[in-house]
Amino acid sequence: MKFKLTDMSNIADVISAVAIVISLIYVGLQVSDNTRATRSATANGATAILVGVYSAASSSTESASVFHRGMTNPSLLDDGERTQFIFMVHTAFLAFQNSYYLSKEGTLDIEVQASLTENIMAVKDQPGLKLYWTQRRAFLMKEFRNYVDVIIASEVKYEASELYLSTGEKG
């Protein structure tokens, strides 16, 4: 059987087309794997910042006391403790804000964002959060401020005992 140059060219075109399809499938799988890895890394980073805040707040009896008194009765704090408390909470809110924008971009899973929002919900009625919010609200991005304003205005209530003695399960 004798092949013409055009026949060989057509066969080469078919082989090229198949190779391109296989390459696209491979790239698609790689992008999917990369997306999962990126989302995992983003979730890890978002929670790591808060773990750092909570670790700092619980690193000593004094820090834990400052955080607890700051949340429940900030008038009991001296000037240095009040500054320490505001910085602790502001660090957490910078992490919340970052997570909010990552979830809006689709980089952070919405369930991770929801769990972080629960942290705000848990303290929204505490006197210390109200103090923080009046002092530092303007330091955060407008869209995030509006988001938190909605959370703070919500009717969901948490007891102080739920905040400090919770097993992590909400009824």
Residue 46, pLDDT score: 62
C-alpha–C-alpha distance, residues 14 and 137, integer Å:
62
Residue 36, pLDDT score: 62
Q: How wide is the angle at C-alpha 92 spanned by C-alphas 148 and 151, nearest 5°?
A: 15
pTM for the full predicted model: 0.67
Residue 37, pLDDT score: 60
C-alpha–C-alpha distance, residues 151 and 15, integer Å:
58
Residue 145, pLDDT score: 95
Residue 106, pLDDT score: 78
pLDDT along the chain (171 residues), means of 10: 71 79 74 61 66 78 91 95 94 89 80 82 93 95 94 75 40 38
Residue 20, pLDDT score: 82
Residue 169, pLDDT score: 39
